[in-house]
Amino acid sequence: MENNIFCRNLSMLVDFYELTMAKGYLEEGIGDKVAVFDMFFRKVPDGGGFAVMAGLEQFIEVIDNFGFIEGDITYLRGKGMFSEAFLGYLRDFEFHCNVWAVEEGTPIFPGEPIVTVEGPCIEAQLIETLLLVTFNHQCLIATKANRVVRACAGRPVMEFGSRRAQGYDGALYGARAAYIGGCASTSCVMADRVFGIPVSGTMAHSWVQMFDSEYEAFKKYAQLYPHNCMLLVDTYSTLKSGVPNAIRVFDEVLKPLGIAPKGIRIDSGDIAYLSKRARAMLQAAGYGDVPICASNALDEYIVRDLLVQGAEIDLFGIGESLITSKSSPVFGGVYKLAAVKEGEAYIPTIKISETVEKITTPHLKKLWRIYDNDSGQAMADYITMWDEKAPSCEHGITLFDPIETWKRRTYTNCHAKLLSTPIYVQGRRVYTPPPLADVRAHCAAQVGTLWEEVKRFEYPHRYYVDLSQKLWDERARLLEEGTL
């Protein structure tokens, strides 16, 4: 039974119409027709200026193990809709697609291809749901976590959300995404065991209530865990009993051992006021540098306000608002057909809508990021067709807004980095995910390349994602033909 949560065949986590379409492709003789699909998203959660890429390692795990077992075949046969030829195809399924993706931890923006799948249309169709649920969830939580971490202005953030997450996977993979976004630790023990994320925790109010007095509860905890003694001081009265009893236990138990307290935690009340009063009491007792932790349904806006009000807080425990992205709980990534292949030629496809943001960008594409050579700042993203040469700054790169085309800018003294990273080549994996700690460090470094104006919580400056002239011309041609 050990690790039974992972003993699942996720290949059946598929929307039913993927199966009906796949059967149709096979029986119409077009299952091997090569198609190009892009995953992209249209809006940044919470009205932010950017999102954070996350979920690639789990997507790789799913694809590496993708296949249908006999029980799946029996179940589908019982539906009475699927031929034996199609069931046989599923039984013998093999993956042959090319896959490109933006690496985890990288800032991403609306409209750009963060994952591209090229291969037999039947295969590309069958993995759609798994691809979307994997990236939509982890990108959402990594993005929210990064907002919270930035609001905390260098103070460590402990992810405390497991009990409020949407299910087991929401807790486990949410903790992983939160770590990528910048959280320092998690309360989820499984996330430590599986991913090596530092695990942290203090005590619950029930511990304090189980003893005859708050003082006794604190004293027993300090004796049991002298090197990890952070005391929850708001069970009864933070200032009248909690902090005084904590100071007494620090004096009687930890000071004789020469061990510094880990801190106190405040989980209710006016945290700005209580933290300032608690700091004064700690300083008067000789514990002025003891950390004060705040929790209690916090989010990035509450954290920001607390710090503006001068709250004496050294670290934060953030739960439900982070692990569920409570204020903006849907990432909204979509998976759309961009081209089909006829012989060696790509035939671009486009989805047209009266809603401009829903119009897709056709063709097999590459995604580039333009960096300033002097400052290292990210200036803009640039989408080209697959066969275009790398953008060169030797004579300047002129970019224009794909909607407001009169907005143009030429970038000099810069360089372009390809973000479309090969993950699979004809079904063979060519990419090895880096250690999670490296992904987290990459996220911090790359978010650091964004202008502060892009990182504002409200009304951020729009980071430009522009099309090459060749790609824009192709899109314009298809739009004109499609509206005639």
For residues 358 and 40, give the distance between their C-alpha atoms in angstroms, rounded to a whole number. 11
Does residue 245 carry a pLDDT above 50? yes
Is residue 1 pLDDT above 50, yes or no? no
More confident site: 302 or 480: 302
Asked whether the predicted pLDDT for residue 239 surpasses 80, the reply is: yes
pLDDT confidence bin for 6, thresholds 50/70/90:
low
Q: What are 306's two structure tokens?
A: 């607390």
Between β-strands 334-342 and 345-348, what pairing exists: parallel, antiparallel or unpaired? antiparallel
- Burial of 90-124, coded b for 16+ CB within 10 Å and e otherwise, reads beeeebebbbbbbbbbbbbbbbbbbbbbbbbbbbb
What value does the CA radius of gyration of the chain take, rounded to a whole number of Å? 26
**Predicted confidence (pLDDT) per residue in 101-131, tens digit:** 999 999 999 999 999 999 999 999 999 999 9
pLDDT the model gives residue 401: 87
β-strand pairing of 421-425 with 98-101: antiparallel
Q: Which two tokens stand for residue 12?
A: 């059946």
Most confident of 156-165, 351-360, 395-404: 156-165
Cβ atoms 439, 145 nearer than 8 A:
no
CATH superfamily of 4-141+329-482: nicotinate phosphoribosyltransferase (3.20.140.10)
- Whole-angstrom Cα distance, residue 66 to residue 60? 10
Cα–Cα separations (whole angstroms), residue 441 to 78, 106, 107, 163, 198: 49, 10, 13, 27, 15
Query: Picking from 6-15, 269-278, 407-416, 419-428, which range would have the lowest pLDDT averaged per residue?
Result: 6-15
Confidence of residue 393 (pLDDT cuts 50, 70, 90): confident
pLDDT tens digits, one per residue of 21-60: 999 999 999 999 999 999 999 999 999 999 999 999 999 9
Residues 314-369 have pLDDT tens digits of 999 999 999 999 999 999 999 999 999 999 999 999 998 888 878 899 999 999 99
- What does the buried/exposed string (b/e) look like for 239-254 if buried means 16 or more CB atoms within 10 Å of the residue's CB? bebbbbbbbebbeebb
Q: For 152-323, which CATH superfamily applies? A: Aldolase class I (3.20.20.70)
- For 235, other C-beta atoms within 10 Å of its C-beta total 21
pTM, 2 dp: 0.96
Residues in the chain, how many?
Answer: 484
> Where do the domains of the chain lie?
4-141+329-482, 152-323
Residue 358's pLDDT is what?
84
